[in-house]
A and B are shown apart, each in its own frame.
Chain A
């Protein structure tokens, strides 16, 4: 049952949403990050938070077309977590790291910048969705996020036919776009 993944295969699996690859990367790196966070004034929740954020960054990097990882996965994950955590400590106004560890790190500033920009965009999308109200929000989430088809959605929401549901979906979409672009363009 045990499959030997090498790093490239792991990253490929990650980009393809392969559960096995995700779990492997998860368990091979989580403890290291957790002990780093715990020994630098963090809690278990912080550790989980920061680690998952780094996993997302790695995932989105692995999916991008121009993807090249020039370091080992654990070095990369550690570097991201370290940066994120230092930043959070600074935001909390604590004095940080008089001492540093022997860990090897790589430059992740550029990647993090991209990641943060994405986070900001997704936050706009989330806010826009949340301010839509029901049933618009669930309808759009059903179609675009859960990827259900119009027939199913009509059934769930009780529309008499798929065409009506579709019409409604377009109305909602127009509103969502307005909300999204109103904020997105300010953000630019």
Chain B
């Protein structure tokens, strides 16, 4: 009983309903009796806790109501209408057994087939490699984001376009020719974005899935050709242990990463590519791999999924063969020939200066479907 009286007093003290004289007396009591003081502190904490709890419960209710209300007004929705769901459920119930049997037969066949395939096929285990392009599911928000980056320019994505992948690309000719990975360009078109967030429309000029390279051309009147490219494209692929670096767009912002050349061949002895030790992320695909003299020795393309920092780059000499082929084919048309940069202006610069000069030449590539 005494406890209850005390609790009652504490609660009245805390919610301020005590008379002044009573309050003074109680405060004196608190001062002199540490146990009571402790009880007051504890109780005030408990009350705060229960009132926060009450608040949380109420807010949950409000959210629940809001959800139902917005569902009713159709401002949000969750999939298909209810009656069609009923039908599906009915069909499911009716054909459950048949489906289950069919599924298990199919499953068994699939397992046997893939086991046989795995056994007889000497091919590269593709799942061990991950292409470093980015997949995109949600695009609405992204377009808003683009909008916030460049307020004065509307996004150059066609309306209703769905972004499906993204990566990096870099200029190989000041006229607006870019190189990137073929796997970055999975959609029907592409736009490129420079490091200041400005977008340009681009078309695919040549694509070679076998070497995983593609050439894009910026055909946008807003594009102003650079005076020169600071780096060169090297024909040789570099020495083991050589220090290298890359610029790319694993985020919407340009990111610098460095590493070293760790093997002269790529995954499983692939001679088209080299292995580099560097932490790469989805979105780095298509980025230039440069040595310290500012020569592009490769194009970053894939990484090994279950190993840390093992990344592969396509050797830069593949760019030459792709461009030569294109120049031959295109000589008939009025297309200007691509001239690859063969002299690096970065050799005597320190890394910060090199990166600064290069930034304008490395673009974010976004592929879309419409």
B161, chain A: closest CB distance, angstroms: 13
Chain A residues near B366 (CB-CB < 8 A)? 102
A55, chain B: closest CB distance, angstroms: 6
Q: How large is the interface on A (under 10, 10 to 19, 20 to 34, 35 or more residues)?
A: 35 or more
A75, chain B: closest CB distance, angstroms: 8
CB atoms of A102 and B136 under 8 A apart: yes
CB atoms of A27 and B135 under 8 A apart: no
Say yes or no for B88: interface residue by CB 8 A criterion: no
Say yes or no for A149: interface residue by CB 8 A criterion: no
Say yes or no for B333: interface residue by CB 8 A criterion: no
Chain A residues near B352 (CB-CB < 8 A)? none
Chain A residues near B58 (CB-CB < 8 A)? 17, 145
Chain B residues near A78 (CB-CB < 8 A)? 141
Chain B residues near A125 (CB-CB < 8 A)? 49-50, 53
- Partner of B46 from the list A39, A48, A177 (CB cut-off 8 Å) is A177
Say yes or no for A66: interface residue by CB 8 A criterion: no
Interface residues of B in 42-62 (CB under 8 A from A): 42-43, 46, 49-54, 56-60, 62
CB atoms of B4 and A167 under 8 A apart: yes
CB atoms of A59 and B138 under 8 A apart: no
Chain B residues near A34 (CB-CB < 8 A)? 76, 78
Rounded to whole angstroms, the CA-CA distance of A44 and B70 in the bound complex is 15
Rounded to whole angstroms, the CA-CA distance of A118 and B8 in the bound complex is 27
Q: When A and B form their complex, what is the total count of cross-chain residue pairs whose Cβ atoms lie within 8 Å?
A: 124
CB atoms of B46 and A103 under 8 A apart: no
Chain B residues near A171 (CB-CB < 8 A)? 4
Say yes or no for A6: interface residue by CB 8 A criterion: no
Chain B residues near A100 (CB-CB < 8 A)? 134-135, 281-283
CB atoms of A32 and B140 under 8 A apart: yes
Contact with B along A85-98 (1 / 0, CB 8 A): 00000000000001
Rounded to whole angstroms, the CA-CA distance of A181 and B281 in the bound complex is 47
Chain B residues near A173 (CB-CB < 8 A)? 7
Interface residues of A in 1-33 (CB under 8 A from B): 17, 19, 22-23, 26-27, 30-32
- Partner of B7 from the list A56, A170, A180 (CB cut-off 8 Å) is A170
Most buried by B among A47, A78, A104, A166: A104
CB atoms of A170 and B4 under 8 A apart: yes
Query: Given A56-B56, A122-B56, is A174 in contact with B4 using a C-beta cutoff of 8 Å?
Result: yes
B250, chain A: closest CB distance, angstroms: 8
Rounded to whole angstroms, the CA-CA distance of A99 and B135 in the bound complex is 6
B226, chain A: closest CB distance, angstroms: 26
Say yes or no for B225: interface residue by CB 8 A criterion: no
Rounded to whole angstroms, the CA-CA distance of A52 and B56 in the bound complex is 12
A-B contact pairs, 8 of them (CB 8 A): A22-B66, A26-B66, A30-B70, A35-B137, A36-B138, A44-B78, A56-B59, A180-B49
- 5 interchain residue pairs of minimum CB distance: A99-B135, A39-B137, A145-B54, A44-B78, A170-B4
